[in-house]
Amino acid sequence: MSSVRRLMATLSSSSSSLWKNGLSLRSTQSTSIVRSPALLGYRRTFRRSFVVASSSFDNDNREFVIVGGGNAAGYAARTFVEHGMADGRLCIVSKEAYAPYERPALTKAYLFPLDKKPARLPGFHTCVGSGGERQTPEWYQEKGIETIYNEPVTSIDIEKHTLTTNSGKLLKYGSLIVATGCTASRFPEKIGGNLPGVHYIRDVADADALISSLEKAKKVVIVGGGYIGMEVAAAAVAWKLDTTVIIGIGAKPAVGPFESVGLNTTVGGIQLYDRIARVEHVDHARRSAQHCVKGLLSAQTHNYDYLPYFYSRVFEYEGSSRKVWWQFFGDNVGEAIEVGNFDPKIATFWIESGKLKGVLLESGSPEEFQLLPELARSQPIVDKDKLENASSVEEALDIARSSLQVKASV
């Protein structure tokens, strides 16, 4: 669960020069911006003069540029379309070969054996993960969105509003959204981090390479004990492999070419109760991307109010004897109280200074899952002794639910 606290979050740069030069920061599976009212007024004035030069893609001028091609880019593109600001105005520059897709599939159904009906593109392009339209490459063409694939951005000049790609292509932007995501942490080369058979999962190419190894393997060791590591482990079990999960080494923001312009990625974040945290989860990637675009296009937007959350589903392949779902809301700080066991379900409650700060539930009912965000957002005072002595997950949830009622009556 330590990965939950490291999950990526909203980044807000403290450098005024970045804001003045039309740079909106987004990074990860994802991160977004915290809106600056002064910035928005400047941008709106700038954009009116820039539209004349960038109403089409006949030159190297682009009114809006998104660097990165993951979840955040796809949901940001959809929001531009919803506001009528995409056609002939928006360009997405990605180092990947595909239109933005729902990256969580790579550690779930994408890894299933062929006889378990694995997921493949175009089946999981954004925004199907939230019930939206499948944004295939044709969708971007129909909406007038320029897409540049297989082109990592290598440098940026924020004074001139220009980007340079790996092939030497120069792009001029009016407003820039950095949505480059995270990169997987790697083992040092001196301890075998680059040996054949050592895999890291971040994109389709990584997942394809792993599948090739799974087809020939007898044993697999998963280095990563968070929910992504558990998803990979569950997929390996579907291949009937001897599977061991060891530790988690996490991820880090992929902001290489932007660090040279004074971008301090350790500053800022979303407000999580009384502290700052990063949130590296797809739900935040989707929501913060949409909020980022709304803040860019409108002089008035609501504050970004996000309750940290993650979910996962494993053993969902055809023929599985048991499917497992996890949901977590809040923050895993303080003392952890575990209730129940794997059969039939488990729950963990995090208590700090008597308050319920976070809750994880495995294989709950729809009604039980609906209770979790209410508990995490309200942070009620709970009876820790009662939770510790609860004989079942149902009893523990009833104890937590009653604490909500007590708080409401005070």
pLDDT tens digit sequence for 89-127: 999 999 999 999 999 999 999 999 989 899 999 999 999
Classify residue 89 by its DSSP letter: T
Q: What CA–CA distance (Å, rounded) separates 286 from 70?
A: 10
Q: Does the structure show a pLDDT above 90 at 22?
A: no
Please give the CATH number for the structural domain made up of 322-409. 3.30.390.30
Q: Is-contact 339 364, C-beta < 8 A?
A: no
Place of tokens 């239109």: 99
Place of tokens 């510790």: 388
If pLDDT is split at 50, 70 and 90, which confidence band does 194 have?
A: confident
Mean residue pLDDT across the chain: 80
Write out pLDDT tens, residues 30-62: 333 333 222 222 243 333 333 333 334 455 788
What are the distances in angstroms from CA 244 to CA 2, 223, 227, 232?
19, 9, 14, 11
More confident residue, 7 or 21: 21
Contacts 24+ apart (CB under 8 A), 113-116: 113/238, 113/239, 113/317, 115/318, 116/238, 116/317, 116/318, 116/319
Please check whether the domain covering 2-184+251-309 is classified as CATH 3.40.50.10860. Answer: no
Strand partners, 183: 252
Q: What CA–CA distance (Å, rounded) separates 88 from 58?
A: 10
Q: What CA–CA distance (Å, rounded) separates 324 from 353?
A: 32
Q: Does the structure show a pLDDT above 50 at 344?
A: yes
The pLDDT value given to residue 228: 83
Domain map of the chain by residue range?
2-184+251-309, 322-409
